[in-house]
Structure 1
């Protein structure tokens, strides 16, 4: 029996992200530059769509942000655009979540 998230995807197909810093951290999901802001102590999870076979994540750290790409089977030609970001309680988050006034993701 497999465990599931709020969206029904098996737990192995998720990317948990934590902000262990003292400032906001921008979670930047490609290819559409969707942003979600983590306050210090926040934990979000990136969950690919249920129909994505073998999703694999690539994460790049850039000052004050994490840039995430999701690929089907690790193939860079097969970019996954169907995903959900949830918080620690399983609540689905919308793009731009907690965007601090005056901050840029760049």
Structure 2
């Protein structure tokens, strides 16, 4: 995925709701841990971000639970990568 926009974009990977934040121009890859399985992706897009589900063999009952998110250099990213700080006193909750 590439953030071709002008502002930060969130990426949620389900079923755990892990969040990763792409700065404009950044590229992230989502892949199963086991490279030997056939994976299909279900993607939902809204103005603020993208939600991704990984399914083995395209079967929605076979959710892939072990996956990696990497940057353009292949560096593995942790949940919350580049998550913006919660505004002080806003009462807003952070995703993930």
TM-score by length of 1: 0.78
- Is 1:69 the counterpart of 2:53? The answer is yes
Change (3 A) 1:89 1:51: closer
Task: Calculate the TM-score normalised by the size of structure 2.
Answer: 0.86
Aligned-residue RMSD, C-alpha: 1.7
For 1:1-106, what aligned pairs fall within 5 Å after superposition?
Answer: 17-50=1-34, 53-102=37-86, 104-105=94-95
Match of 2:90 in 1: none
Gaps of 5+ in 2: 88-93
Which 5+ residue runs of structure 1 have no aligned equivalent? 1-16
Aligned length, in residue pairs: 90
Residue by residue, what CA displacement relative to the aligned partner does 1:12-62 show, whole Å, maximum 9, x if unpaired?
A: xxxxx0001111100100001000000011100001112652111111102
User: Deviation above 4 Å: which 4+ runs of structure 1?
Assistant: 103-106
CA distance in 2, matches of 1:29, 1:52: 20
